[in-house]
Amino acid sequence: MTDLASAPATSAAARAVDAVKTYGEGDAAVHALAGVTVEFPTNRFTAIMGPSGSGKSTLMQCVAGLDRLSSGLAYIGDTELGGLNKTQLTLLRRDRLGFIFQQYNLIPTLTAQENILLPLTLAGEDPDRQWFDTIVSTVRLTDRLGNLPSQLSGGQQQRVAVARALVPRPDIIFADEPTGALDSQTGIEILSFMRRAVDEAGQTIVMVTHDPHAASYADNVLFLADGQIIDSMPDPTTDRVLDRMKQFEA
Ligand SMILES: Nc1ncnc2c1ncn2[C@@H]1O[C@H](COP(=O)(O)OP(=O)(O)OP(=O)(O)O)[C@@H](O)[C@H]1O
Ligand SMILES: [Mg+2]
């Protein structure tokens, strides 16, 4: 474990070493992460599955610098997050990470286009117009760019959130149930696009999902239970993920 922690360069876009996250104290303590060591390889699509409360969101939040571990190490590339102060963490998230959550977190007073470009605007960077157009047309928002979030359907709002994460080409995108609130057709389009972003644009994606079909788009599925990784499945199919989930429930 310690040799992993001290190893300098890695091909992992993000990783955790002996990650522990405990909420509360004494009898009320909840071990959301009970010692997780994991790598999220660069240019790969990783899915995280497991029962409700198994620690999926906690793992993602701690590796993405949105929350701090109780003990252990979390890295983005070679940067150890525990050593960063709040401002450094904020800048790292802004400059290197993309996020897609089930709650879209769009700014209600900004148009779809302004929301999509917001991460770049905040970083003072100009968008790659061609990449912007490719993403916007793939998520079918070209004729909705001037609309406010309140003028968009739930699925359209989620597509704005997906575009916002992809446009800056972050080192890694963290997605927590990104298709959970979408109709199945829109969900499939977004998953296909995430897959293409990995295969054709070198993107790295980590996605929490409860949906075996969504997980089948990943290169590897990690299964979490009680704050620990209990299994993984390379090259998953919907049926094999379903079978594996049944085993865990038994
Ligand atoms: N802020 C918090 N305070 C106390 N306990 C928390 C907090 N956040 C999470 N937990 C607990 O940590 C455990 C893991 O929660 P987490 O949100 O990571 O689960 P999850 O696998 O994402 O579940 P779900 O599939 O329902 O989203 C749960 O038992 C949860 O109740
Ligand atoms: Mg969760």
Q: Domains of the chain: which residue ranges?
A: 41-66+85-249
The answer to whether the CB of 53 is under 6 A from ligand 1 is: yes
pTM > 0.75: yes or no? yes
Q: Are 11 and 40 in contact (CB under 8 A)?
A: no
Q: What's the rounded Cα separation, in Å, for the pair 55 and 225?
A: 7
Confidence at residue 9, expressed as pLDDT on a 0 to 100 scale:
47
> Under CATH, what is the fold of the domain 41-66+85-249?
Rossmann fold (3.40.50)
* Ligand 1 close to Cβ of residue 57 (< 6 A): yes
Cα 211 to averaged position of ligand 1 atoms, centre (Å) = 18
Neighbours of ion ligand 2 (CB under 5 A): 57
Give residue 102's pLDDT.
77
Collect all residues with Cβ–Cβ distance below 8 Å to 6 and sequence separation of at least 6. Answer: none
CA distance linking residue 21 with residue 41, whole number of Å: 22
3-state helix, strand, coil in the chain (%, to 5): 40, 25, 35
Task: Check if the beta carbon of residue 112 is closer than 8 Å to that of residue 146.
Answer: yes
Ligand 1, atom 28, residue with closest C-alpha? 53
SS3 48: strand
CB of 61 shorter than 6 A to ligand 1: no
46 Cβ closer than 6 Å to some ligand 1 atom = no
Q: Which of 49, 54, 101 to mutate to test the pocket of ligand 1 (most atoms within 8 A of CB)?
A: 54
Atom 30, ligand 1: residue with shortest CA distance: 53
- 3-state secondary structure (DSSP) of residue 207: strand
Q: How far apart are CA 12 and CA 134, in angstroms?
A: 27
Residue 247, CA distances (Å) to 76, 243, 250 in order:
33, 6, 5
- Cα(33) to centroid(ligand 2), Å: 13
Alpha-carbon distance of 2 to 185, in angstroms, equals 45
> What's 134's DSSP letter?
H
For the CA of 55, the closest atom of ligand 1 is: 18
Block mean pLDDT (10 aa), the chain, length 250: 47 96 92 97 97 96 96 97 95 93 88 95 91 89 96 88 92 91 81 90 94 96 97 97 83
- The residue contributing the CA closest to ligand 1 atom 25 is 52
